[in-house]
Structure 1
Amino acid sequence: MRVLAWHVHGSWMTSFVRGRHTCLVPVTPNRDADGRGRARTFDWPDRAVEVEPDQLREEDVDVVVLQRPHEVELTEKWLGRRPGADVPAVYVEHNTPRGPAASTQHPLAERRDIPVVHVTHFNEVFWDCGRAPTTVIEHGIVDPGYRFTGELPRAGAVINEPIRRGRLVGTDLLPGCAAAAPLDLFGMGVRDLPQHLGSARISAHEDLPQRDMHTALAARRVYVHPFRWTSLGLALLEAMHLGMPVVALASTGAVEAVPPSAGVVTTRPLELARAIATFAGDLDLAREAGAAARTAALRRYSLERFLADWDELLGEVSR
C-alpha cells in the first residue's frame, strides 16, 4: 500500500514508517511545516520516500493519513483528489482539545467519511467528534533497548518548546522538580529555559540525535513528566523502554501508562519533588522501578502491536 503522510510528529512518524507500506512524505525546498520530508535526527527506513508537491499528482496513493485540519485542503491541492471521497483517508488526532476540555468539537466532527484515530483513550473521551467514526490506536515505540545506568543522581525530562507551551507542558513546575534533584532538560527550544526560569539547577541539552539523547537520558536516575494538558508524550514511553523510573503528573494518558511499580504519578507538586529526590538518592530503587517501567511499556506500547493495528485500519478504509 502507498500511504501519503506528512512529517508532523517525528517520534510518532518514526514508528509509523516502520510498517510494511511505502510512505510518501511531502518535501518542500525550505523544508517548512508542510514539507519537512524525511527526518534528520531519527532513523527511518528507505520505504519512507520524499515527494515534492508538484510530483504528487503522478503518484499512486492508496490512502491518506491526515494529522492537521488544513491537510484536507492540501491533499486536494497537491494530490488532486478529495480525501474521504476520491481517496480513502483517516485523521490522526495527536492532541488534547485546546478549547473547553469536555466540549470542544473536533474539526472533522461532522464528516462520516474520514475516521478520527485517537492516540489515547483519554483523547477519544474528551474530544467531541460528533458523527465522525472514531477509534483508538495507542502509541507503539521503536524499542531503544534497556540502557539505564542511573550513574548520575540527576533527573531528566524531554519537553519541546517549553517556553512557548508553558503551563500546558508544566514548565512552571520545573523549578520545584529541580529543587529535588538537578534537572537535565532535552528537546527543541530548551536552550534559553534555565535563564528564563532563573534556575541554576536546570541544564539544557538541545539538538541531540534521538539515539544520543536516549543514551544521555538513561544515565540520569529518574525521568520527570510534568505535562498538564497534552497528549501522552512519546518521550515518556521511550524513557520507560530505556528502563527509567518515572515521576509524572497524574493527567491525561499518564495515569494509565505508568503503573505504581514503575514510579510515582500524582497531582501534588510536593509529592513530585519527594519522589524525584527519593529515586535520585537510591540507585537500587530506581533500577527496580525502571525495570518495571520497561516491562509495562513493552507489554502495552510495542511496535508490533502498533503496526498491526494500523495495518488492520488501513485495510478497512481502503476496501
Structure 2
Amino acid sequence: MRILLWHVHGSWTTAFVRGPHTYVVPVTPDRGPDGLGRARTFDWPDSVVEVPPERLRDQDIDVVILQRPHELALVDRWLGRRPPLVHLEHNAPHGSSPGVPDTPHPAADIPGVTLVHVTHFNRLMWDDRGTPTTVIEHGIVDPGPLWTGELPHAAVVVNEPVRRGRTTGTDLLPAFAAAAPLDVFGMRTGGLAGHLGLPPDRCRSHELTQAELHEALARRRVYVHPVRWTSLGLSLLEAMHLGMPVVALATTEVTEAVPPGAGVVSNRVDVLTDAVRDFVADPALARRTGERARAAVLARYGLSRFLDDWERLLKEVTR
C-alpha cells in the first residue's frame, strides 16, 4: 500500500512509518510546512519516500492521511482525485467559539472521510457530528530502559514555553524549580529562566536531537509534565519508556496513561512538588516507580499494538 501523508508531527510519524507500507511525503524546494519531506532528526526507514508536488499525479496512492484542514485542497490540486481519506486529529479542541464541548471537527464536512483521534479524551471533546470516528492510541518506538537518574534534577519537555504560557503550564515551573533544579528541553526554550525570573542554576534550557534528548532525559531523576491542555504529550510516554518516574497534572488523557504506582498524578501543585522532592531525595523510590511506569506504557502504548490498529483501519477504508 502507498500512503500519502505530510510530515507534520515527527514523533508520531516515526512510529507510523514502521509499518509494512510505502509512505509518500511531499517535498518542496524550501522544505516548508507543506513540503518538509523526510525527517532530519528522527530515524525513518527507506520506505518513506519524498515526492515533489508536481509528480504526485503520477503516483499510485492508495490512501491519504490528512492531519490539517487545508490538506484536502492540496490533495485536490496535487493529485487531481480523492483516494480513500483518513483524517488524523492530533489535538484536543482549543476553545475558540463556540467553546470546547461544542467545537465541530473540520473533517466532519468531508464526504467519506474516517476520523481518527489519538486519545479517547479528544474523541469525547470534539463534536464529530456523525462522522465515522475511531481512536487509535499512540505507539512509541521503544528507546529502551535508559534511566540512570544520576542527576538530582527534574526534566520537562515543552516546545515554545514562553509563547504557549498557561497552555503548557509554563507559569507552574517556578514552583517545580523550588522543589528541584529544572532542565527544560524543547524548541525555542531560550530565555525561559529570565522570563520566569529564575536564576540559571534552577532552570536550564536545552535544544537537542531526539537521540540526544532520550539520553539526557534518562540522566535526570524525575520527569515533570506540567501541561494543562494538550492531547497527550508523547514526551510523557517516552519518559515512561525510559523508565523514569513521572509527575504530571491530572488533565486530558494523563490519568489514563499513568496508572497508580507509575508516578504521581494530581491537579494539586503542592502534591506534585512534594512528589518531585520525594523522588529527588530517594533514588530507590524513583527507580521502582520508573520500572512500573515502563511496564505500564509498554503494555498500553507499545509499537506493535499501534501498528496492528492502524493496519486494521487501513484495510477497512481501502477495501
Relative to the length of structure 1, the TM-score reads 0.97
- The two structures, once aligned, show a CA RMSD in angstroms of 0.9
Which residue pairs with 1:227 in the alignment? 227
Q: Report deviation, 1:257.
A: 0.3
Query: Retained in 2: the 8 A contact 1:25–1:51?
Result: yes
Q: Within 1, Cα distance between the matches of 2:13 and 2:75? A: 18
Report the 3-state secondary structure (helix = DSSP H, G, I; strand = E; otherwise coil) of the residue aligned with 2:184: strand
What's the offset of the Cα at 1:136?
A: 0.2
1:161 aligned partner: 160
Answer yes or no: is 1:13 the counterpart of 2:13. Answer: yes
SS of the residue 1:36 aligns to: coil
1:128 aligns with 2:127: yes
Equivalent residue runs for 1:1-319 within 5 Å: 1-82=1-82, 87-99=83-95, 100-200=99-199, 201-206=202-207, 208-319=208-319
How far apart are the structure 1 equivalents of 2:197 and 2:73? 44
AA of the residue aligned to 2:188: G
Deviations 1:54-103 (A, max 9, x none): 11111110000000000011111111113xxxx10100010000122211
Tell me if the contact between 1:112 and 1:131 (Cα under 8 Å) persists in the aligned partners: no
Deviations 1:4-49 (A, max 9, x none): 0001011000000111110001111111111111111110000011
Q: Quick check: 1:111–1:131 contact (8 Å CA) kept in 2?
A: no
Equivalent-residue separation in structure 2 for 1:257 and 1:186 (angstroms): 21
Partners in 2 of 1:137 and 1:294 — Cα distance? 20
Matched AA of 1:267: N
Q: Deviations over 1:174-201 (max 9, x none)?
A: 1111110001011111122122212121
Q: Distance in 2 between matches of 1:25 and 1:218?
A: 32
SS in 2 for 1:108: helix
- Please say if residues 5 and 25 of structure 1, whose CA atoms lie closer than 8 Å, have aligned partners that are also in contact: yes
Name the SS for the 1:259 alignment partner.
coil
> For residues 12 and 311 of structure 1, what CA distance do their matches in structure 2 show?
15
Per-residue displacement from partner, 1:297-318 (whole Å, max 9, x unpaired)? 0000000000010011011101
Supply the AA of the counterpart residue of 1:289: T
Give deviations 1:125-183, integer Å, cap 9, x for gaps.
11000021100000000000000100000000110111221111111111111110001
CA distance in 2, matches of 1:37, 1:143: 24
Q: TM-score, with normalisation over the residues of structure 2?
A: 0.97
**How many residues in Structure 1 have an aligned counterpart in Structure 2?**
314
- Please say if residues 64 and 90 of structure 1, whose CA atoms lie closer than 8 Å, have aligned partners that are also in contact: yes
1:192 is matched by which residue type in structure 2? G
Gaps (5+ residues) in structure 1?
none
For structure 2, the residue ranges without an aligned partner over 5 or more in a row are: none
1:227 counterpart letter in structure 2: V
CA contact (8 A) 1:149 1:219 kept: yes
Q: Contact between 1:18 and 1:45, CA under 8 Å: does it hold in 2?
A: yes
The secondary structure found in structure 1 opposite 2:134 is: strand
| Aligned mates of 1:72, 1:174 — CA distance in 2 | 39
Task: Report SS of the residue matched to 1:102.
Answer: helix
Counterpart Cα distance in 1 of 2:56 and 2:111: 26
Q: Structure 2: how far apart are the matches of 1:228 and 1:29?
A: 37
Distance in 1, Cα, partners of 2:110 & 2:266: 38
Once the 2 structures are TM-superposed, how far is the Cα of residue 112 of structure 1 from its aligned partner? 4.8
Q: Distance in 1 between matches of 2:242 and 2:277?
A: 20
SS in 1 for 2:295: helix
Question: The residue matched to 1:184 in structure 2 has which SS?
Answer: strand
1:52 partner amino acid = P
Structure 1 position 111, deviation (Å): 3.6
* Cα shift at 1:271: 1.3
